[in-house]
Structure 1
Amino acid sequence: MTDYRVYILNDKGHIQSDTLIVKADDAQAIEAAKKIVGVRHVEIWDGERLVGRFKTTPDS
Structure 2
Amino acid sequence: MLWLLLLIPIVLIGLSIYFARKRKAQPHVNMANENKEAFEEMYYDQGAAQKSADPKHTKPF
> What is the TM-score with the length of structure 2 in the denominator?
0.24
TM-score, normalised relative to structure 1: 0.25
Q: Which structure has more strand as a fraction of its residues?
A: 1
The structure richer in helix per residue is: 2
| Higher radius of gyration, 1 or 2 | 2
Taking CA–CA contacts closer than 8 Å with sequence separation of 6 or more, which of the two structures ends up with the larger relative contact order?
1
